[in-house]
Amino acid sequence: MIPILDLKTQYDQLRDEIAVALQGVLDSGAFVLGPDVKALEREVADYCRCRYGVGVASGTDALRLSLAALDIGAGDEVITTPFTFVATANTISHSGGRPVFVDIDPLTYNLDPDAVAAAVTPRTRAIVPVHLYGQPADMDAIMAIAERHGLAVIEDAAQAIGAEYKGQRAGSIGHVGCLSFYPTKNLGAYGDAGMVVTNDAALADKLDVLRRQGGKTKYYHQVLGFNSRLDTMQAAILRVKLRHLERWQEGRRAAAQRYDALLAASGAPVTPPYVRPDVRHVYHQYTVRAPQRDALVEHLQQRGIGVMIYYPLPLHLQGLYADLGMAEGALPHAEAAGREVLSLPMFPELTEEQQQEIVAAVAEFYG
Ligand SMILES: *Cc1c(COP(=O)(O)O)cnc(C)c1O
């Protein structure tokens, strides 16, 4: 049995550190926006090379509050990718705005800047690029389009903390960057948590007000806010884990290189991840394109190998977005990716022996 993700091995190495951190919170009694939240905001902002971090309840809320802070609302169009987790788009819908889905670059699975440029209308207010699987989108091209039309850029960096585009960290390039600390992410809490990072002091202040019911002072409310704070216990856990994050990122990157070599040597007709030469990929997922994908998935599962499909049905074809009236064939690269991709087990502690077993099972399938 090789799981797609092994959180237990990592926890076993951290038990004592985590126990001490949690005991500290319990002893302090500072359960809501306690000192650990402030410290984590500083540390994560530094890690992302941003000036500010605002801790919120989840990655989804990081997106939702960012849209609110940028005054995205009714009638506003927001251009994004359909090949992502649903929260990238449903937060746009919750804001009152409308997601405008455009096609992806078939090599990187990220937003195609030419498709973004072609979709801009007088109602466009923002672009939400996603750094899918841990590889940054083409941010120079996206920022150029945004500047030309006066649009906001909200980076969905939920899968890409620590990734770099031309030396800049994911989340630090757009107006805001949204991080998720969902347990399976590269920096994962033991529950839900998220953060918005930004270099804009006014936006950071607005986000801070929005997450605490729309007011700086208790029981006085200037704007329509939310209850969305990063839990102090999760912050204490994340501070422990952040100290190990770079080692884990390098573990993922080494595992990806081993996969590349093993797959190439195996002769299996799968396409490994394409990595832009100007990025640091942090391999939230190691995702390949595979002929006869569904049969391969079944074969690997029978061999006890955990695999997942991120994501089988692009968002423009989901029932949720039926009202957009986009038919099959509208965004062919996203649709092909949904049919052809498959993510292999990926976590920092993955061993070469495990990877040999996985690649042998892939090669066995293709005979
Ligand atoms: C995980 C994820 C989110 C949402 O994060 P949560 O913390 O689960 O709310 C948003 N976008 C992408 C691309 C994600 O992978």
pLDDT, position 265: 98
Q: List alpha helices for 96-231, DSSP H.
A: 113-119, 139-149, 201-211
Task: State the Cα torsion 320-325-327-332 to the nearest 10°.
Answer: -80
Whether the model clears a pTM of 0.75, i.e. scores above it, the answer is: yes
Pocket test for ligand 1, best of 180, 231, 311 (most atoms within 8 A of CB): 180
d(CA 28, CA 133): 38
**Atom of ligand 1 minimally distant from the CA of 131:** 13
Q: What is the pLDDT along the chain (367 residues), one digit of tens a residue?
A: 999 999 999 999 999 999 999 999 999 999 999 999 999 999 999 999 999 999 999 999 999 999 999 999 999 999 999 999 999 999 999 999 999 999 999 999 999 999 999 999 999 999 999 999 999 999 999 999 999 999 999 999 999 999 999 999 999 999 999 999 999 999 999 999 999 999 999 999 999 999 999 999 999 999 999 999 999 999 999 999 999 999 999 999 999 999 999 999 999 999 999 999 999 999 999 999 999 999 999 999 999 999 999 999 999 999 999 999 999 999 999 999 999 999 999 999 999 999 999 999 999 999 9
Share of the chain above pLDDT 70, in %: 100
CA of 190 to the centre of ligand 1 (A): 15
Residue 313, amino acid: L
pLDDT, position 261: 98
CA of 146 to the centre of ligand 1 (A): 23
d(CA 51, CA 207): 14
User: Taking all residues of the chain, what is their mean pLDDT, rounded to a whole number?
Assistant: 97
What would the pLDDT profile of 168-218 be if each residue is shown by its tens digit? 999 999 999 999 999 999 999 999 999 999 999 999 999 999 999 999 999
pLDDT, position 293: 98
**Atom of ligand 1 minimally distant from the CA of 192:** 7
CA of 311 to the centre of ligand 1 (A): 13
In this structure, what DSSP letter does residue 121 have? -
CA of 356 to the centre of ligand 1 (A): 30
**Atom of ligand 1 minimally distant from the CA of 61:** 9
**Which domains can be identified in the chain, with CATH numbers?**
7-242 (3.40.640.10), 245-366 (3.90.1150.10)
**Atom of ligand 1 minimally distant from the CA of 87:** 10
What would the pLDDT profile of 1-10 be if each residue is shown by its tens digit? 999 999 999 9
CA of 289 to the centre of ligand 1 (A): 22
Q: Give the residue whose CA is nearest to atom 5 of ligand 1.
A: 59
Task: State the Cα torsion 264-266-269-275 to the nearest 10°.
Answer: -20
Q: Which residues of 42-78 are buried (b: 16+ CB within 10 A; e: fewer)?
A: ebbbebbebebbbbbbbbbbbbbbbbbbbebeeebbb
Pocket test for ligand 1, best of 88, 285, 308 (most atoms within 8 A of CB): 88
Pocket residues: Cβ below 6 A from ligand 1: 58-60, 84-85, 87-88, 130, 156, 158-159, 180, 182, 192, 194
Structure-block tokens of residue 258: 């081993």
Structure-block tokens of residue 37: 């939240």
List Cβ neighbours of 291 (8 Å cut-off, separation of 6 or more).
269, 270, 340, 366
CA of 60 to the centre of ligand 1 (A): 6
